[in-house]
A and B are shown apart, each in its own frame.
Chain A
């Protein structure tokens, strides 16, 4: 029993001695049991105070707001087509214009050749039907038979050439116009891609990558289809119907034209009616398709977590659930399509029978020839080919307009942060840059203010640190400096100029940041390092890597700087990734550098090496450190302690310790971490044990 108490006493005594050593640096203490006991009690009291101080509201940006993908700016169909045609007929690209003209000429040629085919066919049949008996009668004369034979061959060849020419023109038109369509799609895709990058951070925090990719992809496909359908399908078909009706009136009689127009009218009305009815099924199908795509992408992107928890079956079942919805909606869509096809076929077959009956009656009356019958039949039959696609073209054009609307709506999303009309470039001379927050109030939501009258200054060439609990606004300061958000009131000034008066490009070029959660691209280490400044030379990249204590590690890899890092840099350890981010920021060589928990994943030796290197790097440069580990900011020129959206304390490390306020409590808690609070009675017992040890030890080497 005494042995056990002795061991416990030794452990506690050791802790007490360590605490005492801390105090020896700041105050003179004598070896006195009473003072030791008092120190222990003070520590216990401070621990409770520390706990109380850090109980506060936590809030982070965008937690409960969702920016819808189609936030604003619904465009009408007419506006969409207008915007689309702007790309088809661009003023600054004569080649595109030329291609459009060539395609249209080929289209006209194809249609003219197409319409001429039935007439040639009529002539063929009329000729032989009418001439055959005479030919038989003229068996004695060689010359007429030669003439007839030659004429027949000529007509047949003309017919074949007309058909071949029509097909050839169509295919050539497709080839010529392909470049126009693809060029338009490329221009628009690029515009949207660039525009998305200019949108606020709040948009990107809320949007889903999968839905965004789908919107762009479906929009570009819709664009392509609307383009080709409108120019090469709908309008030419309308023209062809007009031509056929005119030809009917001219050659067969107006009643044929009436029958044709009536049938096509019924056909069109039925088609559009059924198509509108089917649209809601198609919307359901698209929605289910989006849901399935989003779930799949979410799981694939987070595959590590799926594997950690062995939830592959769970994910597959969830995906299958959405696939079932898609299957049901798709079945409805296609069943209604089959019904539409049946309706169209019935109407058109009726029209064909009607025309043939009318023609038969006229033939019996002697007004028409057999060739005319075949002419009518063939003309109407040829009309059925484009009309077959009327329903699907209408539906696809409508769907294309919807998809284009969704895609172009992305272009109408305005970034909340816009440059002023008279924005000036931020000019930094010799890295002289100072920053100031003046009575800044800001909150991501109106009812949740984060910064409440923040006053803070970062002078030229100084190392400034910000500390505080989670949710006290440290990262918000960085976002306001980058102007990812605008303050509600108060000013953020750089070199005396408000950030609102500066161009965003020059503002962000002047700031380097090492984020806590660094992300690497799927490329070589060299590329990831050089991303800070793509124009840097190899020597500069290597130098930055050395400063970040990364050079030796990289050379130890088999491929050195050409080593590939996986998607989102998964093959590097957390510490290695942070060092890449540090090197990247060093390479950018901006006058102002922000380190946001830059070394949280590093061991103490590596951290120490980097901090020494960074001292050289940040010399003559303004820098801002955000850290939880106070050891990394001991040498800061100014330390701001944030609490409840304000600066609670300000000063150097030693100044703040002398004040014995929040910072001092943080400092103490970090250095005595792991010491559990004890009841006062037990403490007394431990101290007594220690004293007993002093008495028992008789060796001359004992200092107690």
Chain B
């Protein structure tokens, strides 16, 4: 309260004083400058710093609303920074455009350097006219014409070059960004399942879109402004030296101090920028998760709680952005103060030299404009530096995921030729725990066999790892010890793309559909399938029965993650997808759990046809679906506790399978 009031009063006073400067500057010539004005100026700077301190203190007190937010918050990454080599790798494919942009920018800067010199000539010509006071005005004006035309030519050339280098730079920036996004997306899709277990999709898409966008903007600005600024600074310093070596020495002496101070502050701003971006990603993740899980939130009437969580994270992001803004503001203010001090020294020295007769007014004009060009360039340099910090951080965040390599490579390993592929699967003394939960052992020395061409079923209590067997078979994870073999070969030797793409078909207990049409969802099993093949698979899975009654038929859009279909309908589409894929090994993970008895019966018939001649692994609680399996394994206590056919297990006294069956029948 008091700070703002004082700040308001001081700003009003300063405004009044500025007005006085404007309209009554002559009194300044007759009396020395007041110390009070200087002190007030410094006081304003002090209040600015104080305001920043207040903001910083306020930000640190933000309370934590829920543990859930802590898990959404991204940890500060030490690797979130780009190296020069990585930047070069991004530029290299488009070096031609880069070189063209650089050349045009330098030429544009060169012309900018020539403008003050030409201006000086013009001023000198005008001065001569005044001094001569000749009556022959026409001839003297003719003398000015070449200088004026020269200046106009420079202006036009500068505009043309600006057009060219902006165009070249745009091509470069857009193509770099496109390649960056495309490469990152490919990298993301090829990562291990464990990677997706520990990263939210909202965060991944933020890297893919917002961070690439920020990097591209920063890159284009740094090349266009930075390059020209640098060239102009060097060129104008050369001009200054040509005009007056003495004054140039005084001016250049100030520059290293500015650079050192700027670097020190820049380091702090870089860290602040990184934290601010992380917090923004956290807030985005909160809203993404809430909107994704809208049904659960609606069912529990938790809209207000969700709003409060989001509000809280937004507030934190705002506080961090404010800190960053104040920091950058102070940085630029300090830079401008130093640069204006440089102008002051130019004027002081120049006036001294003019009084001694060692400098012409035109030369002072040229010197002044060149010095102003340097000042403007260095001011832009400070802005560019801030932008470069953000861009460097954003680029680092993009590349951070690109640097990660999946521990299970997708494109190496051998493929078993089709004519010698039998589909004989064995788990040999497998021990496993999930990478995200290393302390929780799922399997210990699991041994089981799925012979070629046979139907094998898994059953057991919930949470004992039946689905994990599927994950190991698909090689989403690697066993900790032991091995999984296909036709006698370790899965680690086999090509993962081939294994997932051609060999194994999986129908999951929670089929996930894309937000596109029914037809496209089925076609996902084999993207190059014809319409007739898609329809055939749909009929085989009894999808045709309900789809043909939709107003839009197969073009019906199923909504995000299939939200507009019932569980049974989604499962039938997933079954059609697997039928279309036509793999030699089929895994049914609770594939019919969401179907009613009638639908289950029909789909079971379809599956019975599909299962002929294949190796089939069934995971189910519905014992009716596994009764006909040729081998049943009961999974419990981290291993296959029992095995045998339905009859064998039923005949065994005290078996878990028998208890499961009897519990099933008791309820019946």
Contacts and interface: CB of A to CB of B under 8 A. Distances in A.
Contact of A342 (B163, B284, B524, B593): B163
Contacts, number: 565
B205 interface: yes
Contacts of B421: none
B306 interface: yes
Contacts of B590: 574, 601
Given A527-B67, A604-B667, A161 B198 contact: no
Contacts of A154: 28-29, 31-33
Interface stretch (B148-156, B533-541, B610-618): B148-156
Q: Which 4 A-B pairs have the closest CB atoms?
A: A575-B462, A558-B439, A349-B155, A310-B501
A331 B174 contact: yes
Interface stretch (A98-106, A257-265, A615-623): A98-106
A216 B549 CA distance: 37
Nearest to A303: B196
Contact of B624 (A186, A518, A600, A674): A674
B483 to A, nearest CB: 21
A193 B310 contact: yes
A175 B21 contact: no
Interface string B599-614: 1110000000000000
Interface string B145-174: 000100110011011101110110011001
A536 interface: no
B514 A66 contact: no
Interface in B1-58: 4, 7-8, 11-12, 14-15, 18-19, 21-22, 25-26, 28-33, 37-38, 41, 44-45, 48, 51-52, 55
A539 interface: no
Contacts of B307: 190, 193-194, 197
Contacts of B434: 571
A168 interface: yes
Interface stretch (B181-189, B229-237, B443-451): B181-189
A135 B166 CA distance: 51
Nearest to A153: B348
A296 to B, nearest CB: 5
Contact of A522 (B71, B151, B664): B71
Contacts of A315: 185, 189
Interface stretch (B78-86, B264-272, B297-305, B485-493): B297-305
Given A165-B41, A339-B163, A553-B463, A604 B664 contact: yes
B162 A341 contact: yes
A353 B41 contact: no
Interface string A173-190: 011101100110110011
B314 interface: yes
Given A305-B514, A338-B166, 10 more contacts: A63-B551, A102-B7, A123-B26, A157-B344, A160-B347, A204-B298, A209-B288, A316-B185, A515-B299, A519-B293
Interface in A568-612: 568, 570-576, 579, 584, 588, 597, 600-608, 611
Nearest to B38: A161
B524 A309 contact: yes
A76 interface: no
Contacts of A342: 159-160, 162-163
Interface residues of B, number: 205
A64 B556 contact: yes
A253 to B, nearest CB: 17
Interface in B186-241: 186, 188-190, 193, 196-198, 200-202, 204-205, 208-209
B180 to A, nearest CB: 10
B546 interface: yes
Contacts of A207: 560
A327 B174 contact: yes
Chain A interface size range? 35 or more
B174 A50 contact: no
B396 interface: no
Contacts of B593: 574, 600-601
Nearest to B26: A123
Contacts of A566: 197-198, 436
Given A135-B355, A603-B621, A213 B461 contact: no
A448 B300 CA distance: 30
A574 B322 CA distance: 45
A299 interface: yes
A447 B524 CA distance: 31
9 contacts: A156-B347, A158-B21, A309-B577, A339-B163, A341-B162, A471-B546, A508-B301, A584-B300, A634-B667
B322 A302 contact: no
Contacts of A185: 318
Contacts of A120: 21, 25
Contacts of A470: 546, 566, 568-569, 595-596, 599
Contacts of A156: 344, 347-348, 351
A311 interface: yes
Contact of A213 (B162, B284, B596, B624): B284
A505 B302 CA distance: 10
A139 to B, nearest CB: 11
Contacts of A553: 462-463
B155 A327 contact: no
B318 A300 contact: no
Contact of B299 (A60, A150, A338, A513): A513
Contacts of B175: 327
Contact of B663 (A63, A338, A558, A605): A605
A497 interface: no
Contacts of B314: 186, 189-190
Contacts of A165: 14, 18, 41
Interface stretch (A274-282, A317-325, A419-427, A686-694): A317-325
B371 to A, nearest CB: 12
Nearest to B213: A289
A337 interface: yes
Contact of A305 (B127, B177, B292, B524): B524
A72 interface: no
A312 interface: yes
B167 A335 contact: yes
A466 B437 CA distance: 40
Given A334-B174, A527-B67, A136 B25 contact: no
Contact of B340 (A160, A208, A334, A341): A160
B182 A575 contact: no
Interface in B534-569: 545-546, 549-552, 556-561, 563-569
Nearest to B314: A186
B573 to A, nearest CB: 11
Interface centre among A153, A309, A632 (most CB of B within 10 A): A309
Nearest to A116: B22
B343 A163 contact: yes
Given A309-B525, A574-B510, A300 B201 contact: yes
Interface in A292-309: 292-293, 296-309
A302 B204 CA distance: 13
Contact of B440 (A51, A63, A216, A558): A558
Interface string A323-367: 110110011001101110110011001001100110011011010
Interface centre among B137, B467, B525, B593 (most CB of A within 10 A): B593
A673 interface: yes
Nearest to B628: A674
Interface stretch (A107-115, A390-398, A400-408): A107-115
